[in-house]
Amino acid sequence: MIHIGPHVSSQGSVSFAPLRAKELGATGFALFTKNQRQWRSPELKEEDISAFKKNILDSGYSPKSILPHAGYLINPASPNEEMADKSFNLFMDEGQRVVRLGLETINIHPGAYKEGSMEEGIKRCSLMVDRVLEEVPGLKIALENTAGAGTIIGSKFEELDAILSEIKNKDRVGFTLDTAHLFGAGYDVKGDPDGVLDSFFSRFGEDKLFGMHLNDSKVPLSSNKDRHESIGLGLIGKEAFLTIVKRREVMNIPLILETPDESRWKEEINELLGAAER
């Protein structure tokens, strides 16, 4: 089955997220399990956890169709000791939230090395991933590729490979490919979406693709910028996405829309689901 849907709001309660996704006709979705721009948030209530699990079941979703996203404050590659400690604690807390909700995988950005070398940042990122996995049994981590601005790591497959090579718990780590980030980093998902995916699979294998973010781009190829656009309205264009959803390798992983116009989500879902089924 193909799992397509947007990153829906969990405002009010995480238990509302599957209901919001279902209203849109989504077959998968993403969410934040807490406020993504705060270091501290109230603990999950048992009643919200129970309601979330019930709504997942009643709406026909499974853990494999849902890809929670970690908050934006976490920087696994930070050279600053205080920031690294805060990032680890928040990363661990969000991982524990995911497991308590009965889900499997958390999506996170590899972070920015800020100073020194990228190699040092990669080692710090890998170490933090391993520390979180040791503290949170049952959790899997999806590292998201980036557009490559500044000192942010993870824009090239070689960088993702370098992170993975330093991780001990490799069986619990994979990747989320964001199409807008790929495009910004110089991977031509407009002209050759199959070639880009084939390049990834030849390096990592099919089992390391834990999810995708399907976003068109407001900025051109190799811009090293991250600016999402609605499907078909950006510089990648609709045809690339219609090609991607037909790939055998993307069956049974979450394909998440992070497109900016919520009023278009239902249309985007329907068109992509229709293309996948043809």
Domain ranges, ordered by start, for the chain: 3-139+154-173+243-277
pTM equals: 0.97
pLDDT at 148: 95
Token pair belonging to 153: 């790591």
pLDDT at 36: 84
| CA separation for the pair 86, 73 (Å, rounded) | 9
Catalytic residues: 37, 69, 72, 109, 144, 178, 181, 213, 226, 228, 258
Contact between 162 and 155 under an 8 Å Cβ cutoff? The reply is: no
pLDDT-flagged residues of the chain (< 50): none
pLDDT at 12: 94
pLDDT at 106: 98
Mean per-residue pLDDT of the chain = 97
pLDDT at 216: 98
CATH number of 3-139+154-173+243-277: 3.20.20.150
pLDDT at 38: 85
pLDDT at 40: 87
